[in-house]
A and B are shown apart, each in its own frame.
Chain A
Amino acid sequence: MSSALGILSSRTAVFRWGLELTSFLSRLGKTWLSVRPRMESGGRQHAGRSTSFSADFVKSGTAQRRSRTGTRAFGDGKSKEAEIKRINKELANIRSKFKGDKALDGYSKKKYVCKLLFIFLLGHDIDFGHMEAVNLLSSNKYTEKQIGYLFISVLVNSNSELIRLINNAIKNDLASRNPTFMCLALHCIANVGSREMGEAFAADIPRILVAGDSMDSVKQSAALCLLRLYKASPDLVPMGEWTARVVHLLNDQHMGVVTAAVSLITCLCKKNPDDFKTCVSLAVSRLSRIVSSASTDLQDYTYYFVPAPWLSVKLLRLLQCYPPPEDAAVRGRLVECLETVLNKAQEPPKSKKVQHSNARNAALLESISLIMHYDSEPNLLVRACNQLGQFLQHRETNLRYLALESMCTLASSEFSHEAVKTHIDTVINALKTERDVSVRQRAADLLYAMCDRSNAKQIVSEMLRYLETADYAIREEIVLKVAILAEKYAVDYSWYVDTILNLIRIAGDYVSEEVWYRVLQIVTNRDDVQGYAAKTVFEALQAPACHENMVKVGGYILGEFGNLIAGDPRSSPPVQFSLLHSKFHLCSVATRALLLSTYIKFINLFPETKATIQGVLRAGAQLRNADVELQQRAVEYLTLSSVASTDVLATVLEEMPPFPERESSILAKLKRKKGPGAGSALEDGRRDPSSSDINGGVEATPSAVSTPSPSADLLGLRAAPPPAAPPAPAGAGSLLVDVFSDGPAQPSLGPTPEEAFLSELEPPAPESPMALLADPAPAADPGPEDIGPPIPEADELLNKFVCKNNGVLFENQLLQIGVKSEFRQNLGRMYLFYGNKTSVQFQSFSPTVIHPGDLQTQLAVQTKRVAAQVDGGAQVQQVLNIECLRDFLTPPLLSVRFRYGGAPQSLTLKLPVTINKFFQPTEMAAQDFFQRWKQLSLPLQEAQKIFKANHPMDAEVTKAKLLGFGSALLDNVDPNPENFVGAGIIQTKALQVGCLLRLEPNAQAQMYRLTLRTSKEPVSRHLCELLAQQF
């Protein structure tokens, strides 16, 4: 009988069975209802099985009849409970049949097993019948066997006992030599694919696969079955002699066998590329035959005029497991194939059906994948890029989507990166106009991938604009991308800060912690942007409704750097505070906690806000807040602000130190989101090797502001200064700030305000320099054994004063020492200011100057006595008169000893008197300079040092430093205008030392070369060392 008749009769059966079933399958009825309107409106009869079926499922009269029946059944109004009741009744019936005394014949078993399967597929649980299904496997009737296998494949159960029985049945079928049974068994193995099955059959299947007498259909099934087992448990599949024969299946006559074999080989060769190497040339020749075949050559393997699209795609995928073929002939043939595929894409389509274009483009896109995988044929890469460019504007959404996706990969190839960039406008347009969110997402991905320095601003601004209307689903990702690009390609950090604040403004909800932590890290680490950041957040906070994340960022930045904008009356401290506090009540607990830290930092930065802030902290809402964290902060901060002195506050609430540089936490987050490989274009820094250092990244989890706790260590007495005390913050330096202008280093000579200062202090009476020294030091110098060694930072502190004369020499919790000095010829006068930072009197206060070693004969320093008591908060001044007798190398030491609260304190520093202080600048013409330079040509007279720049290489700063060092700067001497040349004479009482210097910066290498020539060898070396540390 023809199968058509078979189908017909089974259709009738469906109808009858369906009638019966629907009474308990009301859910089905719903579907039928939905089918009906189509029927009624359609009401048409389709002539047979036309190929145009795809748009319409429901057309035949049979279907009409069925649906009417269904509707009627549904219309009976059976409830869901009734359905379940009916199913349970049926299940009970089947169970009783299975358990009954009478043995069921194969046919009944099959019938009930099939019913169980049906019920299961309707979504009900089935917990019995497995044994009956297994029994069916050993039936020699095909349909019974088939239903048995189907049940096993659909309702796999890892019941090991059952598996053993199943395996047994499968084993019999595999050995049966009946191809239909063998295929059923292989299908079952592939469908279940469990490890037990692998253990039982992994060794047999390769044998079946390569056996000469296996039917084609069996080979196909065996290949894919083996693939499935290999994927599940690769260790179970033994490699062996069969692998070579599998490769040769690529040459098989039967296309179906080739199709199945390619899948297997593709998977196997990933783990054992060498074993399958020969497949490359076979695959190329097979591919070449397909590509060059006419559309009718391959008969049934031609799909909508496209020759064997599935096989082509699979072969192209297999080739992507290997590098480009080494054999020139194979390679040439492959390139030819790829070119043919690209050429064919330009031909007019052979059919208007979407299936034709899909199949053709599937092979085309896979070819492009292979071209990108090789990444070695610039010509093909650019052609691929152009092809994808065409697709970007294709009317098929699917193609636009795929083109955007593939271009992402192309963007990371050096050959095609520029070609991809030319499509930027199309991609931006796609981001704006595509109606499908997944396409827009691809567009955003591509923009991210094609971004580099040249287009970063455009891309970031487009992404920001898109963000305003973006789908909620992808906002967070866009935010991450914008944040990463803005940081990576930031040329000036004000743009970066603007971008991030815009992000918060537009999509505050989607700005994750990583993003706003990051902006704080960057602002904290880059002092050139702090003022701008403070100003910008201040402005942003003025918006009537601003996002909580903005309040967080604003609170943190103003707390750290609010002082930088406090000079403007529009952003004076009280204004800053009230602006922040106006947001306080609307914020979450975490933000309020952060704001409390900001407030305490304000007390330090702006003492004038102290009373207001203490009022806020004292308010019941804070002090008795139900939230433990808020309450604790309020209590601690209030106590801290009232108990601790200004200097303790200043130390506790000091500006946050820079964060350690680490991988960007945002990048890590994006990678987590997108899986490994995302952001790889950024990581490798391929396009931007130079960016890694400035834009490299920092990570740290700033714990908002360090919560100061009144620990003994912080408030306790400690003679040692805090490590590397920063230049006194405004608040901390308030003791001395009125005395010192901590401005940039200034040259000590010439018409500067220093002159006035000196003349003011110059004692009016005896004008002779010697008279200055007439007053002998009243206290005997203590011997060197009496004083301790200089503190570890002494050298560093000394270095700060090589090129300048005024500033804070030293500071710790108790004491601050300021310096102001003036030198002329071989004489100098130095004022030391000792500030008591505590509220307790220092007793037995005695600062002394010591001349270690030979210094006594080289340098004369006279000190004047100071009062032995320094009151809390008071400052005493000590004047030192200095005369340089001859050249010296080590500076004198300053020892300060006193008692604080009964505890003796002592401290030894290096006095900032270095040989260059006695420099007298000398102007000279180029000719003279070169003449003298030549005169000082003895090897020992020259000292040279090549060193790395420790500070930004700014010509103006360098000039100021050299002038501060004391030499004259000579223009038009060095032929290279980038270089600096200086000259001067060191004045001592005994002799004069002429000095010439030359400093050659190399901006590219960030290095300097410094050369000193003097008439005295140790002086050259010493000056060279002193000066080299300044750049």
Chain B
Amino acid sequence: MRFMLLFSRQGKLRLQKWYLATSDKERKKMVRELMQVVLARKPKMCSFLEWRDLKVVYKRYASLYFCCAIEGQDNELITLELIHRYVELLDKYFGSVCELDIIFNFEKAYFILDEFLMGGDVQDTSKKSVLKAIEQADLLQEEDESPRSVRDLGPQGL
């Protein structure tokens, strides 16, 4: 996989993960271009499309689009299920995940993704192992004996 993007129907990027080295400028350009293409597609259309020299696999969950760019010989269907498995993981972790969870707990969304995918490849497909890793991290967090997250400080922090 080359990169994964999460963006809303309004074209707001919610999460981006790049597994290839590209300049910031080029990334921005690719995101803009790809969002336009994907958002223009109607529901019921097929989830795969050719874009530049890549294959794009996307799926929409509520207002969020999950979009993966894979290489020519990669398997589209399994990538589609990879997206689904990631959504399941988020859901399991957040409990009925919604777009806002991803906005405000972005770092968790990234951590979960990192446990699941690494360098663009599936690291572990077991829901249990991924969640166990995240839970362990959360436990460590509590052992830190400091407020669990920066957000716990609330508005006074700003």
Q: Chain A residues in contact with chain B, CB under 8 A? A: 1, 3-4, 6-7, 9-10, 13-14, 16-21, 27-28, 30-32, 34-35, 38, 46, 48-51, 53-60, 63, 66-67, 70, 90, 93, 107, 110-111, 114-115, 117-118, 121, 123, 141-144, 146-147, 150, 153-154, 180, 183, 186-187, 190-191, 193-194, 217, 220-221, 224-225, 227-228, 231-232, 255-256, 259-260, 263, 300-301, 303, 308-311, 313-314, 317, 320, 355, 358-359, 361-363, 365-366, 369, 397-398, 400-402, 435-436, 438-439, 441, 675
B36 within 8 A of A: no
What is the CA–CA distance of A110 and B135 in the complex, to the nearest angstrom?
20
Q: How many A-B residue pairs have CB under 8 A?
A: 280
B29 within 8 A of A: no
With A3-B135, A31-B63 as given contacts, are A259 and B155 in contact (CB-CB < 8 Å)?
no
A309→B100 contact, CB < 8 A: no
With a cutoff of 8 Å between Cβ atoms, the chain B residues found around residue A93 in the complex are 158
Partner of A359, one of B10, B48, B77: B77
What is the CA–CA distance of A263 and B78 in the complex, to the nearest angstrom?
14
Closest to B130 in A: A256
Closest to A105 in B: B146
B155→A10 contact, CB < 8 A: no
B119→A30 contact, CB < 8 A: no
Chain B 117-158 per-residue mask, 1 if CB under 8 angstroms from chain A, else 0 = 011111111111100010111111111101111111111011
With a cutoff of 8 Å between Cβ atoms, the chain B residues found around residue A13 in the complex are 148-149, 151-152, 154
With a cutoff of 8 Å between Cβ atoms, the chain B residues found around residue A359 in the complex are 77-78, 81
Q: Chain B residues in contact with chain A, CB under 8 A? A: 8-10, 12-13, 15, 19, 21, 42, 44-50, 53, 61-64, 73, 75-78, 80-82, 84-85, 87-88, 91-101, 103-107, 110-111, 114, 118-129, 133, 135-144, 146-155, 157-158
With a cutoff of 8 Å between Cβ atoms, the chain B residues found around residue A50 in the complex are 96
Closest to B145 in A: A141
With A114-B150, A220-B123 as given contacts, are A18 and B100 in contact (CB-CB < 8 Å)?
yes
B44→A180 contact, CB < 8 A: no
Can you give 18 A-B contacts (C-beta < 8 A)? A6-B148, A17-B104, A31-B12, A31-B99, A53-B97, A57-B61, A66-B100, A142-B137, A220-B123, A224-B118, A228-B118, A256-B126, A260-B122, A320-B73, A363-B78, A397-B44, A398-B80, A401-B48
* Most A Cβ at <10 Å: residue of B76, B88, B122: B122
B147→A49 contact, CB < 8 A: no
Partner of B76, one of A58, A260, A402: A402
A263→B121 contact, CB < 8 A: yes
With A57-B63, A256-B124, A310-B125 as given contacts, are A225 and B119 in contact (CB-CB < 8 Å)?
yes
With A143-B146, A259-B124 as given contacts, are A111 and B10 in contact (CB-CB < 8 Å)?
no
A14→B151 contact, CB < 8 A: yes
With a cutoff of 8 Å between Cβ atoms, the chain B residues found around residue A358 in the complex are 77-78, 80-81
A111→B150 contact, CB < 8 A: yes
What is the CA–CA distance of A702 and B124 in the complex, to the nearest angstrom?
59
- Shortest CB-to-CB span from B40 to chain A, Å, is 11
A14→B48 contact, CB < 8 A: no
B46→A436 contact, CB < 8 A: yes
B149→A311 contact, CB < 8 A: no
B149→A10 contact, CB < 8 A: yes
A9→B119 contact, CB < 8 A: no
Partner of A143, one of B105, B118, B144: B144
**15 other contacts beyond A180-B137, A301-B126, A397-B46, with CB at 8 A cut-off?**
A16-B151, A28-B103, A49-B96, A60-B96, A107-B147, A118-B106, A187-B118, A217-B129, A217-B133, A228-B120, A256-B129, A309-B78, A401-B46, A438-B49, A438-B50
- Shortest CB-to-CB span from A1028 to chain B, Å, is 56
A187→B103 contact, CB < 8 A: no
Partner of A7, one of B80, B93, B140, B154: B93
A366→B75 contact, CB < 8 A: yes
Partner of A57, one of B99, B133, B142: B99
With A14-B104, A123-B13, A193-B119 as given contacts, are A317 and B73 in contact (CB-CB < 8 Å)?
yes
What is the CA–CA distance of A190 and B116 in the complex, to the nearest angstrom?
13
A17→B151 contact, CB < 8 A: yes
What is the CA–CA distance of A623 and B58 in the complex, to the nearest angstrom?
60
Closest to B110 in A: A150
B64→A57 contact, CB < 8 A: yes
With A57-B98, A397-B46, A401-B48 as given contacts, are A191 and B135 in contact (CB-CB < 8 Å)?
no
What is the CA–CA distance of A435 and B42 in the complex, to the nearest angstrom?
10
Closest A-B pairs by Cβ, 3 of them = A228-B119, A57-B62, A362-B77
B50→A259 contact, CB < 8 A: no
With a cutoff of 8 Å between Cβ atoms, the chain B residues found around residue A227 in the complex are 119, 121
Partner of B97, one of A21, A57, A232: A57
- Shortest CB-to-CB span from B131 to chain A, Å, is 9
A398→B129 contact, CB < 8 A: no
With a cutoff of 8 Å between Cβ atoms, the chain B residues found around residue A225 in the complex are 118-119
What is the CA–CA distance of A311 and B154 in the complex, to the nearest angstrom?
44
Closest to A400 in B: B46
With a cutoff of 8 Å between Cβ atoms, the chain B residues found around residue A66 in the complex are 100
What is the CA–CA distance of A263 and B20 in the complex, to the nearest angstrom?
16
B125→A260 contact, CB < 8 A: no
With A48-B95, A263-B121, A313-B75 as given contacts, are A438 and B45 in contact (CB-CB < 8 Å)?
yes
B95→A7 contact, CB < 8 A: yes
- Shortest CB-to-CB span from A312 to chain B, Å, is 9
A365→B75 contact, CB < 8 A: yes
Partner of A6, one of B10, B76, B118, B138: B138
Partner of A436, one of B45, B133, B142, B151: B45
With a cutoff of 8 Å between Cβ atoms, the chain B residues found around residue A180 in the complex are 136-137, 140
B138→A3 contact, CB < 8 A: yes
Partner of B119, one of A190, A314, A355: A190
With a cutoff of 8 Å between Cβ atoms, the chain B residues found around residue A194 in the complex are 21
A146→B137 contact, CB < 8 A: yes
What is the CA–CA distance of A598 and B149 in the complex, to the nearest angstrom?
80
Closest to B147 in A: A107
With a cutoff of 8 Å between Cβ atoms, the chain B residues found around residue A309 in the complex are 78, 81, 125
What is the CA–CA distance of A365 and B157 in the complex, to the nearest angstrom?
53
